[in-house]
Amino acid sequence: EVSIFWFRRDLRLDDNVALYHALHSKYPVIPLFIFDTDILNSLPKNDARVGFIHESLRKLNTKLNAIESSILIKKGTTTEVWKSLFEEFAVSEVFFNKDYEPYAIKRDLAITALAKENNALCFSFKDQVIFEELEISKADGLPYTIYTPYKNKWLEKYKSMAPLLEYDAESYFSNFHKSNFDFPTLQQIGFEESNIKVQLYNLTQISNYDETRDFPAIDSTSYLSPHLRFGTESIRKLVNWAVHKNDVFLSELIWREFFMQILFSFPKVVSHNFKSAYDGIQWRNNEEDFKRWCAGTTGYPMVDAGMRQLNATGYMHNRVRMVVASFLCKHLLINWQWGEAYFAEKLLDYDLSANVGNWQWAAGTGCDAAPYFRVFNPDIQLKKFDKNGIYIRKWIPEFDLGYAKPMVEHAFARDRAIATYKAGILR
Ligand code: FAD
């Protein structure tokens, strides 16, 4: 008999809650990863995120090999794979960490039911957040939809608890199932190496975070986002660390949980405005305009540099993400969902809750969003946050040769956006 621990967005051995509990079960533990074809089939063959997952699994496998164990890697739909696992092994218990996205919730319910049919017990755990679901809620039990009171409650609760436990499982590593499963190459999974790579995160550079985080030319943010997305870093460790280091940085980690909570409580936000009063906005949705935005040829250097950084590296600085998103929705009057989908394709840190939450924030359609009449002026943003043009010159080499004219004039676009929003918002 065996237990199976199913890796998903928690690709680490250290401080992994479900893995810790699996290793304390009475059966040897097979670590499993499934390349889910329901997700993979829609991705380009050189998707950099698949490469990062593969590389992270390879590192985990090397560690497991040192203790005579290995990861079992499967490819297929999760239901097909689990059916075959129940045939292949005498599975008594299944362990995984919870995932709060609508697709994952549905998938996990199906696998839990399948386990039950096969007389296996399923155990799921909170791992990717400090507070999940409705753990942070208003006095009446309803979810918060405004960030600041959510954050205050989050901090109050966190500070009232004993320091968070970190789950050190190393002393139980002998409970891994002894095995030598084949480790497939990326090509065998059906993918190719991408030249875009996830960069290492860096916590030493956030010492001046409060003052420098808005300046894209300065390397002063952590680059943690893909590591939090795929769980190569543990949120408990980070929060325990950040709480003594930097309040502004901690509040960004709380934004992450806020948007996860919004997605959990209001899954409709994936494809609908959080504020349905905004459903009447008449988007222009011009395809040519959208192409220019994607390619970074709008004539606004801050917007263009951001889109080129995204296209070249799979990353864009947060301040610039806000500028390009506002430009798409307000200056070009293109539905935020188009921008959300483009970011989803390109971002290495793409995370449904953060992406949808931030896009709706920028469009003004989300919870606790920027007011619709606030229209970022991309040139003023440039003067404020990249006044020496270091960031834009990095991504727009032709800048000094005389840059293209803006595709739409700011004052005109601003008035048009405000008028269109005003006419579209139902009162
Ligand atoms: P740091 O500044 O070092 O922040 C530390 C961590 O806090 C981040 O890694 C992230 O996990 C979290 N965080 C920071 N800002 C936010 C925020 N506004 N919302 C939620 N979490 C935050 N972040 C994603 O992780 N995935 C996305 O798909 C994503 N899409 C975005 C789309 C738009 C339009 C905008 C404006 C922002 C988006 N963000 C997204 C948030 C933010 O831009 C990135 O988390 C950040 O730039 C990542 O860089 P970093 O790790 O160096 O951040």
For ligand 1, whether the C-beta of 340 sits within 6 Å is no
For ligand 1, whether the C-beta of 261 sits within 6 Å is no
Strand partners, 124: 96
For ligand 1, whether the C-beta of 362 sits within 6 Å is yes
CA distance 340 to 356: 6
The pLDDT of residue 127 is: 97
Instruction: Indicate the top mutation candidate among 358, 359, 360 to test ligand 1's pocket, ranked by most ligand atoms within 8 A of CB.
Output: 358
Of 2.40.10.10, 2.60.40.1730, 3.40.50.620, 3.20.20.70, the CATH number of 1-127 is 3.40.50.620
In 3D space, the residue among 129, 145, 132, 366 whose CA is nearest the CA of residue 264 turns out to be 132
CATH topology of domain 269-424: DNA Cyclobutane Dipyrimidine Photolyase, subunit A; domain 3 (1.10.579)
Kindly give the distance from the C-alpha atom of residue 303 to the centroid of ligand 1, in angstroms, as a whole number.
18
Kindly give the distance from the C-alpha atom of residue 321 to the centroid of ligand 1, in angstroms, as a whole number.
9
For ligand 1, whether the C-beta of 214 sits within 6 Å is no
The pLDDT of residue 427 is: 66
* 249 assigned binding-site residue: yes
Nearest CA to ligand 1 atom 45: 225
The pLDDT of residue 162 is: 82
Nearest CA to ligand 1 atom 14: 252
CA–CA distance from 277 to each of 202, 280, 294, 369, 425 (Å)?
A: 42, 7, 28, 13, 5
* 221 assigned binding-site residue: yes
* 201 assigned binding-site residue: no
Q: Which two tokens stand for residue 290?
A: 């959208």
321 Cα nearest atom in ligand 1: 36
Mean per-residue pLDDT pooled into runs of 10, the chain (427 residues)? 98 97 96 97 96 98 97 98 98 98 98 98 97 97 97 96 85 95 98 95 89 94 97 95 93 98 97 96 98 98 98 98 98 98 98 98 91 94 97 96 94 97 87
The pLDDT of residue 164 is: 81
Domain boundaries, the chain: 1-127, 129-163+201-265, 269-424
Q: State the catalytic residue, choosing from 46, 118, 135, 283.
A: 283
Strand partners, 4: 30, 94
CB under 8 Å to 220, separation ≥6 — which residues? 205, 206, 208, 209, 212, 213
Can you tell me which residue has the tokens 């943010």?
221
Kindly give the distance from the C-alpha atom of residue 318 to the centroid of ligand 1, in angstroms, as a whole number.
6
In 3D space, the residue among 42, 114, 119, 40 whose CA is nearest the CA of residue 79 turns out to be 114
Name the residue type at position 14: D
For ligand 1, whether the C-beta of 228 sits within 6 Å is yes
Q: Which two tokens stand for residue 310?
A: 């995204």
Strand partners, 66: none
Q: State the catalytic residue, choosing from 252, 335, 361, 395.
A: 252
CATH number for the domain formed by residue range(s) 129-163+201-265: 1.25.40.80
222 Cα nearest atom in ligand 1: 3
Q: Which two tokens stand for residue 218?
A: 């300065």
314: number of Cβ within 10 Å: 23
Q: State the catalytic residue, choosing from 338, 359, 361, 395.
A: 359
* 264 assigned binding-site residue: no
Nearest CA to ligand 1 atom 23: 354
The pLDDT of residue 368 is: 85
For ligand 1, whether the C-beta of 225 sits within 6 Å is yes
CB under 8 Å to 4, separation ≥6 — which residues? 22, 29, 30, 31, 32, 85, 89, 91, 93, 94, 95
Q: Is the ipTM of this complex over 0.85?
A: yes
247: number of Cβ within 10 Å: 11
Query: What is the length of the chain?
Result: 427
Instruction: Indicate the top mutation candidate among 206, 218, 225 to test ligand 1's pocket, ranked by most ligand atoms within 8 A of CB.
Output: 225
Q: Which two tokens stand for residue 209?
A: 């975070």
